[in-house]
Structure 1
């Protein structure tokens, strides 16, 4: 039976009923004509309080132009129209949908997010071809049982509603791959969820869940499970048997213990920050062979086991705001790119070393591994290592043992020659001239170009970056925050090893062009400037870029094409004057922001 025949069977007069001109005025005839050709109709943001009947009947009624013109070219034969497959009604004021929704059985995409819907019509059962349904940011308290009829549904987005439970038969949505139930009022997850064999992404964050069903482990294809911001006190041990799981979010719950993960061989990110975990043992770590990110911040950990060195793939470790007083020296053997330790009562590492950043902490820990006994510098105050009057302001101990040239927090307008002279024949990998009054970068820094990888020039009065800095070919990290910079020289593209640059609290009005040409860049921090624009096309080419901090700038809009920059793991946009994405989207994190932007890329 053809589509029109099926419609006629429900309504014998459907093909002959005239359009209601009073309602169709909200939708231009040209838009409807275009929809008949393309199969797509976008009515987003039109302030609609109801959907005009002409929309539901776009493939049923004789079009208005056919009544006025009796001669048609081949391209205008309305009876050869394309069935509507994509309908976007988002960002309106809809409180309900008509049962006439069933007159669009060919729909594959229906987007009605950001409205005021309190219910869905039972006619939704007719949309058997639907593959993507977005009804997020509404006021739904329940779903109709007819939802179970959508056998081809792959993406179902229900976040930010008022759901307290799910209807019977929900598990019959066997094609589901992506399901977002975050920010609702769910108190339980049905065990029948295990009958969703193709589900790859499940978001249950910001609900009222006190437990997860053991049956959840039967989701053999699940890669991403988000249970942040619930009331979980434990997670079922069966969770550790989910072989395909790659990302697990359990932040902001009430967990006291971590499960073991013997079967989660593919787990790349484990986020358990803001819980009440008191112990981390070898049994929790020994199977996390592929882990890249481990977030343990804001817990009650008192120690870190030596077995942390089993995590040879680990790149980011967040231990901030715990009760850790010491770290195992073996931690220095990990190839971490980011290590957070703030808010711990650490006694074995001086605060000045922690302030230098991840690589200096790891370097310090590695240096301790080879110690056979206490160093002379541990037995005497640090000042005893500074014997010569000419070196009285230079930390020679830091140069010799930590390979750091440190002349920070002196409020100096110039770096004295004696500071560079103190290096002598030693190898220095880090330079710290922060918290001074420098108006230009010291020219003698070029003498260190064969060895220096980290440079900290933050909290000075620099208005430009000199070419001497661009000659440090081994530079991987540079901190230029809290200066007066408004541009960067093109010569910086020669810094082919540069991975992290901090430009926060300067005077940039655009993202500096040269940054797009530095291939190794992984992190760009440019918050608290005046950046008003950026190029998503150029950012997309930056294959290694994982972190982009644009907080507190002057972005009036976020280009939707930025959603294609899939390499980004952290995108921070708070504090800009744009209207969309809304704050509710920003709080959901980078993946949600990128998905939101991708959905708004013009077809």
Structure 2
């Protein structure tokens, strides 16, 4: 019987639709004649040059200005299933929306009944809605409407997204619980109180719920935990004082926003059982310890914000907290006195702890290898650990407002800060010795030991001979000296001679340069212009010098006396000297173990002297930033076969040739005078090719900035798109296909 009813109803609806269409055709196909001109030519209103003005003389001042917009949006929503009536000043849901699926409405707007789809998204935000009538959202199941042939049904029954934020709603209709397809509900910035949670907690299909900036007060209703599919919950801007203990029932909750409430504690024992990735509780009334004893790990948490509270500790003293996935931690504007062990926060990128009472930067801080930004401003820190200079990823460190002993560190840039702290550091060996180098070192130690034994044996034999000679001379004197002659007395005794020789030896050893642990010879800021070759030889005989720091001196040439240290020297810094022109190296210099050379902040104009005189077969990195270099030698890679890093930023380069940098992995030529970027540089990318190219701050206009800011790969792709097809084909055979960047 019900099948016949529905079939008859369907036939009736089809008949009505056809009748409405025929009526519309009759209205539009009238037999009116077109007006004609004096010459009998007919003018049609549908000509292309005709201009359609709905109100050319502005005579419809009394009409609702949003009526036309509303009709257009309703017509579009009928075929797309997405209706947006936001910011129209609505005080209630318009009748056009409620009757949008009626046949009369479809025919009046030249619509097609066959093209209509169910409404899945409704946005009615930023209006003046005070209440939603129960008739609009009836508390009736969808199955009940199937047996009702006369009713219109629930047009909102298929909603998946409902956005009502920015209204003045004081309650929600009971029929909300019948929206079984709804997954996203936004009720923020309304006037809802705790009673709304009774209905919302029955909407078990929700995955995204926002009730921020309403009038929720007191403890949060425990019924909210019935939303077991919920993944995101936003309750910020209310007056909640406590969370329910059964939050662990929300087994899929990933994002929880509790900012700007009146919370005095957070049940981390329950939250630790959830897959939380983001938790924000700033501007509450939290005090004492944030995370209670017993919570040892939050395995999925990526972002934690507990700023603007009254916390004194993050965790209990003596306990540890593991945050293996955390990316950002903000504990600013609290009363923290210390930070916990952060050694397990291996993925941390941003740490904000400004405006606290922290007295020291913890040792575990320097082990955060991925950390990029750290803010310790306005604390009680007095000493900055020198190990911070080893944090390669750290790009920003704020220390303003701290009583530092070294005041210049407060306003120093991160590069200056690292350079200053590196001088105070006792670095480990910069690289592992190869087998050949270890063999050479062992041979040197053995030879040194043999020399010591030989010297000891020689000194002993010399001592014995001296004693024997003295005894013999005494005997001879007894027989050869006349009785009337006085015995010969030396000017000083033997003990005095030995002591003077010993003091001279100590004085000579005291004059040798000190070598820090790790093989660092630091002769920086000595106002030196030369390097004594004798002292270098003496130091090389006693130590294995791996690093030489000669920065901030008066050197006009690279000292050739460094060759005495060449067998072990791997790093050389001559920054901030007076190296000028192309005569800063005029003699052959052999440094067989040198891997890194830093000549930044000088007045060098060419790198030809390095190619001509420097013998460094394992040199990997050259830094000549902040000089006056105008061109790069094409045979730089041939002179230094292992060279992979070239830093020439802030120079006067006018051209960057592809052959010049072929084989390099990292090239920084930013802030130069390059007028044209050679497209063949793009062919240097690919497998085992150029990995990082910095060319910002030059004169060229293409590629544009939006290409450069996307990184090296995007820049190289853009350049490859400008090379000849035959060259690109050869590149593709080695590296595979490539897509151009617009």
TM-score relative to the length of structure 1:
0.62
CA deviation after TM superposition for structure 1 residue 138, in Å: 4.3
CA deviation after TM superposition for structure 1 residue 271, in Å: 3.1
2:517 to 330, 354, 372: 372
2:137 to 86, 90, 101: 101
- Give, in whole Å, the separation in 1 of the partners of 2:262 and 2:82: 38
- Give, in whole Å, the separation in 2 of the partners of 1:510 and 1:502: 10
CA deviation after TM superposition for structure 1 residue 153, in Å: 0.2
- Give, in whole Å, the separation in 2 of the partners of 1:394 and 1:263: 42
> Aligned residue for 1:76?
113
Which stretch shifts more, 83-92 or 512-521?
A: 512-521
Q: Secondary structure at the match of 1:406?
A: coil
CA deviation after TM superposition for structure 1 residue 109, in Å: 0.6
> Aligned residue for 1:35?
77
> Aligned residue for 1:153?
206
- Give, in whole Å, the separation in 1 of the partners of 2:83 and 2:123: 6
Kept in 2, the 8 Å contact 1:265–1:287? The answer is yes
Q: Secondary structure at the match of 2:122?
A: strand
In structure 2, do the counterparts of structure 1 residues 302 and 193 end up closer, same or farther at CA, with 3 Å as the change threshold? same
CA deviation after TM superposition for structure 1 residue 489, in Å: 7.4
> Aligned residue for 1:85?
120
2:93 to 46, 51, 54: 51
Kept in 2, the 8 Å contact 1:395–1:406? The answer is yes
> Aligned residue for 1:588?
none
> Aligned residue for 1:316?
372
The answer to whether the aligner puts 1:442 opposite 2:630 as a matched pair is yes
In structure 2, do the counterparts of structure 1 residues 249 and 88 end up closer, same or farther at CA, with 3 Å as the change threshold? same
- Give, in whole Å, the separation in 1 of the partners of 2:358 and 2:668: 30
Which stretch shifts more, 171-180 or 373-382?
A: 373-382
- Give, in whole Å, the separation in 1 of the partners of 2:192 and 2:676: 49
> Aligned residue for 1:65?
106
Q: Secondary structure at the match of 2:361?
A: coil
CA deviation after TM superposition for structure 1 residue 501, in Å: 7.8
- Give, in whole Å, the separation in 2 of the partners of 1:445 and 1:91: 65
Aligned positions of 1:300-339 closer than 5 A: 300-308=357-365, 311=368, 314-321=370-377, 322-331=379-388, 336-339=393-396
CA deviation after TM superposition for structure 1 residue 148, in Å: 1.2
Q: Secondary structure at the match of 2:279?
A: strand
Cα deviations by residue, 1:412-452 (Å, 9 ceiling, x for unpaired): xxx55389969984866444429xxx9xx733598988465
> Aligned residue for 1:134?
186
> Aligned residue for 1:279?
338
> Aligned residue for 2:547?
none
Kept in 1, the 8 Å contact 2:277–2:301? The answer is yes
Kept in 2, the 8 Å contact 1:332–1:365? The answer is no
CA deviation after TM superposition for structure 1 residue 300, in Å: 3.7
- Give, in whole Å, the separation in 1 of the partners of 2:659 and 2:91: 58
- Give, in whole Å, the separation in 1 of the partners of 2:279 and 2:125: 27
> Aligned residue for 1:174?
228
CA deviation after TM superposition for structure 1 residue 295, in Å: 4.0
Whichever of the two has the greater Rg, that structure is: 2
Kept in 1, the 8 Å contact 2:161–2:184? The answer is yes
- Give, in whole Å, the separation in 2 of the partners of 1:156 and 1:293: 28
Kept in 2, the 8 Å contact 1:407–1:432? The answer is yes
Kept in 1, the 8 Å contact 2:655–2:677? The answer is no
CA deviation after TM superposition for structure 1 residue 198, in Å: 1.4
Aligned positions of 1:177-576 closer than 5 A: 177-217=231-271, 219-233=273-287, 234-237=289-292, 238-259=294-315, 260-262=319-321, 264-281=323-340, 284-308=341-365, 311=368, 314-321=370-377, 322-331=379-388, 336-343=393-400, 345=404, 347=406, 354-356=413-415, 368-369=427-428, 371-372=516-517, 377=522, 381=526, 386-388=553-555, 395-396=576-577, 403-407=597-601, 415=603, 417=605, 425=614, 429-433=622-626, 442-444=630-632, 450=643, 452=645, 454=647, 456-457=649-650, 466-467=655-656, 473-475=664-666, 480=671, 496-498=690-692, 511-516=705-710, 518-519=712-713
Q: Secondary structure at the match of 2:83?
A: strand
TM-score relative to the length of structure 2:
0.52
Which has the higher relative contact order, 1 or 2, with Cα contacts under 8 A spaced 6 or more apart?
A: 1
Provide structure 2 residue ranges, at least 5 long, that are not aligned to the other structure: 6-15, 17-62, 139-153, 430-515, 530-549, 560-573, 585-593, 638-642, 716-742
What is the CA RMSD across the aligned residues, in angstroms?
Answer: 5.2
CA deviation after TM superposition for structure 1 residue 511, in Å: 3.5
Which stretch shifts more, 236-245 or 389-398?
A: 389-398
In structure 2, do the counterparts of structure 1 residues 124 and 278 end up closer, same or farther at CA, with 3 Å as the change threshold? same
Which stretch shifts more, 357-366 or 271-280?
A: 357-366
In structure 2, do the counterparts of structure 1 residues 194 and 375 end up closer, same or farther at CA, with 3 Å as the change threshold? same
CA deviation after TM superposition for structure 1 residue 204, in Å: 1.8
Count, aligned residues: 476
In structure 2, do the counterparts of structure 1 residues 272 and 430 end up closer, same or farther at CA, with 3 Å as the change threshold? farther
Kept in 2, the 8 Å contact 1:320–1:341? The answer is yes
Provide structure 1 residue ranges, at least 5 long, that are not aligned to the other structure: 6-15, 409-414, 522-603
Kept in 2, the 8 Å contact 1:196–1:219? The answer is no
Kept in 1, the 8 Å contact 2:206–2:227? The answer is yes
Aligned positions of 1:587-598 closer than 5 A: none
- Give, in whole Å, the separation in 2 of the partners of 1:327 and 1:159: 41
Kept in 2, the 8 Å contact 1:465–1:488? The answer is no
The answer to whether the aligner puts 1:124 opposite 2:176 as a matched pair is yes
CA deviation after TM superposition for structure 1 residue 355, in Å: 4.2
- Give, in whole Å, the separation in 1 of the partners of 2:77 and 2:520: 78
CA deviation after TM superposition for structure 1 residue 89, in Å: 1.9
- Give, in whole Å, the separation in 2 of the partners of 1:300 and 1:403: 42
> Aligned residue for 1:567?
none
Cα deviations by residue, 1:323-376 (Å, 9 ceiling, x for unpaired): 444444555555535352543636499789854279868976776345329976
- Give, in whole Å, the separation in 2 of the partners of 1:143 and 1:203: 20
